[in-house]
Amino acid sequence: MLSLNGFGQSDSIQAIKEVKVSFRPANLRLPVSKQYCVDRIDILELAPNDIGELLQRFSGVYLKSYGGLGGMKTFSYRSLGSQHASIILDGFSLENTQAGQVNLAQLHTDNVESIVKTDEQDLAGVLPIAGQLSGVSYAISSFDNSFLKNGLFIRASLGYGSFDTQNSYLNTKWQHNGYFINASGKFRRSDGDYPFRFENGNTIDRQIRTNNAYQDYSFGNAFGYKKKNHQLRLNYRYNESEQGLPGAVIFYNQSADEQLYTKLFNAAGDYSFSGKKLSMRWYNTYTRSYLRYLDTSYLNSAGFLDSEYLNERVNSGIAVNYKFKNPRFNLFGGTELDRSSLISSDSTFGEPLRVYNRQLIGMGAKWVNLNAKLQMGGHYVMDNHELSNERTRYKLTPMFTLGTNYLRPRRFNHRISYRNSLRLPSFNELYYNGVGNIALKPEVAHQSSYELTYEPHKKKFLNSLVANGYFNRVEDLILAIPTKNLFVWSMQNVGIVHVFGFDISSKYLLERDKISYKINLSYSFQRSMDMTDSESPTYRDQIAYIPYHTGLMEFGINLKQSGLRITNSFVGSRYSLNENIEMNRLDPFVITDLSVHHVFKRKNNNLTLQFNIKNLFDRSYAYVRSYIMPGVNYLITLRYALH
């Protein structure tokens, strides 16, 4: 921002012309460096089932989905597993040391205000230390924990769709003089018995997906207080789910009996101070996760398998940012301590304990048209388990970024960066009976990239372009492939992996009177090669489940209070194993989704009726081999908002 002072004197009162102030949605006034953002407007128009469907809209992200509503969803970013990425909800990192990755299908979107990709953003005093040291972070802002203007706010929705899918949601918030109190609840269920086509050579078999029912409910409360430079927030949430594990579709064999029950309790709180020079944030999280896995046809002496797991995690940290007298320089840092334990009814699993300490120190500098950031992270990890000796590790992870910051009339900007990130094996990957591998090594990723941004600007036409080229060198990549079902996996290290790729995304918005047009385009190319052993049959082959090409093409139109959006998602060919032979190849696919909505407005009340069709042309496809996705399906949603 540029500030100018003017001085003048006049002998009489002067009249000035009235200035009209107009509002534009938040995503249109984000700097181009923060273009990787999905805002509330997009979320309402898309009506996604979960966070996973939103993350796949970011270039470089490949979603791994294992079914419809409630089916497990994970993702990879530029050929790196989701464990290199942090999911930050309202400033608190979501982690699961048992499974190692967050199931995105269990994170609903009714209360989400925005999701922002924050890999290089200046959020040193906001993100937890884990988020600042990750390969990439996705910061989710929710309605529950945000400060608004004084008044009563209500959000509610009812939905019904294919396969007897039902969902309901209610959220109320009251804020007055810096205080807010929030309460919310969510219920979802689905039979999940969707039809599908399964091809085996020239034979096509039509079946109904079985053992795929899903049901969950969640509720939570939040409290906040804000006065001058001080802010305090407290919140908790509880989630309970029950679902069948359908397993892989095997020709002529559709039987599956496994069930999964989960209970999650999470309590968190933070205190923030923001002064002219010093800003700091102290945060604490407690998570208690219960999981029960039941297989009624397991081939053992008892004739069944019933295992229970209790995973507890305590996390506490502090992040500090100090601005020097010269505002072009700032120093930031912090530390975070994480203690995780697991108790299991499975005697072969044992009781693993992990203590994880992260440290960070860094410095940022800003000149007229140049920004720079340098940081050094430290990771101290102690693993204790009766199956192996106590192991301690210490790893340094540096990061550097340098970029331009040209404003008008020059709208081209450049940025180069290098980041080193660490990914630890989860408890399941190390110790789970039958598939655990205590010899697994931590995964280390060296990420380097170049980014070009371009943003011409006109009064009623906004567009932006972001292009990235990158190279990643991954040492001891941990590859997990599902075997029997979504609870039983195969684990292995791949010694050295080289990843070459580029992303390009572009957004256009045209406004004319009461009508507006929006176009979103993105494309990603990833070449992920096993470079471990030149004598190996998989040498220079594409890593399993990394597609060469992915893309998104979206068109939206809004006329007064009505809108329509068409989304086309493309996933190219990939392989189910590291050996790139024809029998391991998965076919590419294009999926089309359609959304239509109308908003009835009256003063501070909004009522929205929305109709969504997913997989409009009834394609038969799978992200993961033998986990066939639903065909054409619909969802009708009625939403109410008081604000």
Question: In the structure, what pLDDT confidence band is assigned to residue 45 with cuts at 50, 70 and 90?
Answer: confident
Contacts of 3 (CB under 8 A, 6+ apart): none
368-372, 521-525, 638-642: which has the minimum mean pLDDT? 368-372
| pLDDT at res. 93 | 92
Quick: pLDDT tens for 295-321: 887 777 777 888 899 999 999 999 999
CA distance 91 to 280: 13
Quick: pLDDT tens for 196-215: 777 666 777 778 887 888 89
Question: In the structure, what pLDDT confidence band is assigned to residue 574 with cuts at 50, 70 and 90?
Answer: very high
Q: How many CB atoms lie within 10 A of CB 355?
A: 15
CA distance 36 to 59: 8
Token duo for residue 313: 């995690």
Token duo for residue 487: 């609870």
| pLDDT at res. 4 | 60
In the chain, the N- to C-terminal Cα span, in Å, equals 31
Please, what is the average pLDDT of the chain? 85
Place of tokens 């884990």: 130
CA distance 298 to 305: 6
| pLDDT at res. 488 | 55
Question: In the structure, what pLDDT confidence band is assigned to residue 34 with cuts at 50, 70 and 90?
Answer: very low
Q: What does 386-450 look like in DSSP terms, one character per residue?
A: TTEEEEEEEEEEEEEEEEE---TT--EEEEEEEEEEEEPPPHHHHH-TTT--TTPPPEEEEEEEE
Q: How many CB atoms lie within 10 A of CB 447?
A: 23
* Average pLDDT score over residue span 428-436: 73
* Average pLDDT score over residue span 91-107: 87
Quick: pLDDT tens for 435-478: 667 778 889 999 999 999 887 765 667 778 899 999 999 998 88
Token duo for residue 467: 């292009």
Contact 129, 334 (CB under 8 A): yes
| pLDDT at res. 490 | 66
| pLDDT at res. 49 | 84
Helix (H) or strand (E) holding 505: strand 489-512
Percentage of the chain lying above the pLDDT 90 cut: 49
| pLDDT at res. 32 | 38
Query: What's the CA angle centered on 528, arms 527 and 530, to 5 degrees?
Result: 135
| pLDDT at res. 23 | 36
CA distance 495 to 630: 36
Q: Which amino acid is at 441?
A: K
Contacts of 140 (CB under 8 A, 6+ apart): 51, 87, 88, 89, 90, 107, 112, 114, 115
* Average pLDDT score over residue span 390-397: 89
Pick the residue with more confidence: 417 or 491?
A: 417
Res. 253: pLDDT tops 60 = no
CA distance 266 to 240: 12
Res. 8: pLDDT tops 60 = no
* Among 619, 513, 518, residue whose Cα is nearest residue 564: 518
* Average pLDDT score over residue span 230-256: 81
* Average pLDDT score over residue span 94-122: 83
Res. 363: pLDDT tops 80 = yes
20-29, 52-61, 471-480: which has the minimum mean pLDDT? 20-29
Q: Are strands 136-142 and 85-89 parallel, antiparallel or unpaired?
A: parallel
**Extended beta strands in 67-178, E state:** 73-77, 80-81, 85-89, 92-94, 112-117, 136-142, 151-161, 165-176
Please, what are the domains in the chain?
26-642 (2.40.170.20)
Question: In the structure, what pLDDT confidence band is assigned to residue 380 with cuts at 50, 70 and 90?
Answer: very high
Pick the residue with more confidence: 124 or 33?
A: 124
Contact 40, 113 (CB under 8 A): yes
| pLDDT at res. 428 | 82
| pLDDT at res. 28 | 33
Percentage of the chain lying above the pLDDT 70 cut: 87
CA distance 406 to 410: 6
Question: In the structure, what pLDDT confidence band is assigned to residue 276 with cuts at 50, 70 and 90?
Answer: confident
Res. 364: pLDDT tops 80 = yes
* Among 503, 548, 501, 502, residue whose Cα is nearest residue 521: 503
Question: In the structure, what pLDDT confidence band is assigned to residue 627 with cuts at 50, 70 and 90?
Answer: confident
